[in-house]
Amino acid sequence: MKPISLLALALVILFVISPQSIAQSSGRRMQIPNSRNRNIASIVREIDAKNIERTIRQLVAFGTRNTLSEQNDPKRGIGAARDWLYAEFLKAAETSGGRMTVEKQSFEQPKAQRVPQPTILTNIVATLKGIQPESADRVYVVSGHYDSMCTSPTDAKCDAPGANDDASGTAAVLEMARVMAKYQFDATIVFMTVPGEEQGLLGATHFAEEAKQKTTNIDAMFTNDIVGNTLGGNGIRDRSTVRVFSEGIPSNETTAEANTRRSVGGENDSASRQLARFIEETGEGYVPQMKVMLIYRRDRYGRGGDHQPFLERGFPAVRFTEVNEEYRHQHQNVRIENGVQYGDLPEFVDFAYIANVARVNAASLATLALAPARPKGVSILTAGLSNDTDLKWEANKEPDIAGYEIVWRDTTSPVWTNSKPVGNVTTFTMKGMSKDNYFFGVRAVDKEGNRSVVVYPKPLGRTAPAVNTTPASSSP
């Protein structure tokens, strides 16, 4: 036997004997075994930095894309950008066999802090319909904002190239639509570019509010905003890392949910944080040249973005942004001062890097839209004290469901470290593993091995009320 096959045999034996001890000894996140879906690998391959560069240069050529700028000039202003993007998404839809439709979602924005007079805003929304009847109403949204600004957010005349903020995210979304339109997914994917971000997240808010009113099942939303600069103001060049921001405590958490969380933990286990962990595992699996840097915050320190209106309405959402920002090239009038070039110009954007960020997005979106839904009703049974952990959930409705996996980690671990396939069942007991000592989660797996995002269980049975009794010491 050759040494290499001896090694392989030894590895197989190790895994068969003790899969859990191997996963635990790694001390690091789990590997997703199915990171080799051939269609997803093709999507990742087909994403092309040249198309991204072409989109960014075209958007910059409109001079300004300030939300308050000219709407009817074919050459300059946000109207020209809107119409060009609409035409490009229509072109992308041509390969979809009628599954992708493109819509101009227009609305009148009333006067607001950064909107001096009522203004028409138009979201460009390309919807790629899912083909599995049980999953087609499950929607994944990927977005970038196509508006831009110079130093003043209400200056509609100045040049505002916005090559990085946010032609980079817009170009990434358009390129994903172009590549993914010809592939089929179980669930629905919305490729969206919005205006009004710099005016107060207005386009994204309109879309999220309408989705809430229509009770659209948005299972996840990604915003790509400032994903193109790889040389930071700190002098650090990083072409292989992207930040993914996720909030810990949900923006829409109710008082009752907060009481439960204080009783059983979970401040690090919102649906958005599970989504971020999923992106790290999936994205790095398909795009090994990229590292996903999980940031356990809603957004950058004291700042915001288009995922917020989604979070506030209860839709899981994350933000993608480069690692080291360069503030001389954000929200600046284009000028040279003391020999320093200011302004958000294409020469400071790394097109190959944006393509890699788009690949991480696309691999994650494709996996989400091929995988089963997150299991519903995931609970830990709390009736009676036990050193075992009893988990329970509802059966998924997809016909290609294969079963479920329990995942777990130490309470101090930032990411899931262990997983155990438990078959096509709706209850499982983790023998000898106390819910006091680990965090548990459940995810669904289909017959092709596509895994859903993990669900963090809620307690079922004896729950939080015990902590609400008034302590005796509070009586006068």
CB 272 → Zn ion: shortest distance, Å? 19
CB 459 → Zn ion: shortest distance, Å? 39
Q: Considering the rule CB under 5 A, would residue 350 count as an interface residue with Zn ion?
A: no
Number of residues that bind Zn ion (CB under 5 A): 3
Q: Considering the rule CB under 5 A, would residue 186 count as an interface residue with Zn ion?
A: no
Q: Which stretch binds Zn ion (CB under 5 A): 133-141, 159-167, 415-423, 461-469?
A: 159-167
- DSSP state for residue 332 in the 8-state scheme: -
Q: Both tokens of residue 469?
A: 């009794």
Of 70, 165, 247, 398, the one binding Zn ion (CB under 5 A) is 165
Number of CB atoms found within 10 A of residue 25's CB: 10
Position 390, amino acid: D
Of 418, 360, 374, 146, the closest CA to residue 244 belongs to 360
Nearer to Zn ion, 322 or 446 (CB): 322
Rg (CA), the chain: 24
Burial of 415 (0-12, 13-18, 19+ CB in 10 A): middle
Q: Which residues, in sequence order, are CB contacts of 433 under 8 Å at separation 6+?
A: 387, 388, 389, 408
CB 223 → Zn ion: shortest distance, Å? 9
Whether the CB-CB separation of 107 and 120 falls below 8 Å is answered with yes
Q: Considering the rule CB under 5 A, would residue 306 count as an interface residue with Zn ion?
A: no
Nearer to Zn ion, 166 or 186 (CB): 166
CB 399 → Zn ion: shortest distance, Å? 41
Nearer to Zn ion, 322 or 390 (CB): 322
Helix ranges, 18-95 (H): 19-26, 38-46, 49-61, 78-93
Tokens 């392989």 appear where? 8
| Distance separating alpha carbons of residues 455 and 393, to the nearest angstrom | 10
Of 70, 166, 280, 390, the one binding Zn ion (CB under 5 A) is 166
CB 468 → Zn ion: shortest distance, Å? 42
Residue numbers 209-248 binding Zn ion by CB under 5 A: 225
CB 156 → Zn ion: shortest distance, Å? 17
Q: Considering the rule CB under 5 A, would residue 325 count as an interface residue with Zn ion?
A: no
Q: Considering the rule CB under 5 A, would residue 281 count as an interface residue with Zn ion?
A: no
Nearer to Zn ion, 166 or 322 (CB): 166
> Can the peptide bond before residue 48 be classed as cis, meaning omega within 30 degrees of 0?
no
Burial of 89 (0-12, 13-18, 19+ CB in 10 A): buried
CB 338 → Zn ion: shortest distance, Å? 26
Q: Which residues, in sequence order, are CB contacts of 28 under 8 Å at separation 6+?
A: 415, 417
Number of CB atoms found within 10 A of residue 253's CB: 16
CB 193 → Zn ion: shortest distance, Å? 12
Q: Return residues touching Zn ion (CB under 5 A).
A: 165-166, 225
